[in-house]
Amino acid sequence: MAMRDYERLIEHVCAATGLDAERLLSEGTLRAGETPVRLQYFSPADLCRLEIDLGRPPSCGDADALRWMLECNTDCETGCLPVLAIDPDSGNALVYLHFPLCQPDSAEALLRFLESDVQEMADQWRRAEVTHNAGATSGASANLLAFA
């Protein structure tokens, strides 16, 4: 039953954005603006789990960046249960967000997040990393979803 709820959530997002639901269910990846996002059903907690690759942690101080990430993990009070981590293979920072399938507005919340918040979060992360390109802004299609 819970997997069917996840499938309905994905179908709702795809119907609203024009993406192919079968493809998203099988591949699990898309792009929110310029940012790769992986969606999956997280069965232990009956959630839709998003994995967002933020790129390398800020080079201004690895220890400071890691400390900040850990503090975010312990201080966060948002409903999507964010967790920051480091990918052991690439060294990139990852953020995991969780959307409960049992909430009646989970599809709308996920869609809003994908269409606006993902790119903003990634842009904020990159601004901390790249100072020589601070004047660059994302294009007008930054909020559009596409397959990775």
Phi, psi for residue 128 in degrees, rounded to 5: -70, -30
Mean pLDDT of 5-27: 94
129 vs 107: CA distance, rounded Å:
32
For 100-115, write each residue's pLDDT tens digit: 888 888 888 888 888 8
Q: In this predicted structure, what is the pLDDT of residue 41?
A: 95
- Residue 103: helix, strand or coil by DSSP? coil
Where residue 81 falls among pLDDT bands split at 50, 70, 90? confident
48 vs 107: CA distance, rounded Å:
10
- Decide the pairing of beta strands 47-55 and 35-42: antiparallel
Where residue 137 falls among pLDDT bands split at 50, 70, 90? very low
36 vs 51: CA distance, rounded Å:
8
Q: Which of 33-42, 59-68, 97-106, 123-132 has the lowest mean pLDDT?
A: 123-132
* DSSP string for 14-43: HHHHT--HHHHHHH-EEEETTEEEEEEEET
Q: What is the pTM of this model?
A: 0.76
Where residue 61 falls among pLDDT bands split at 50, 70, 90? low
Average pLDDT score over the chain = 79
Q: In this predicted structure, what is the pLDDT of residue 21?
A: 95
Residue whose pair of structure tokens reads 């940012």 in the numeric block: 35
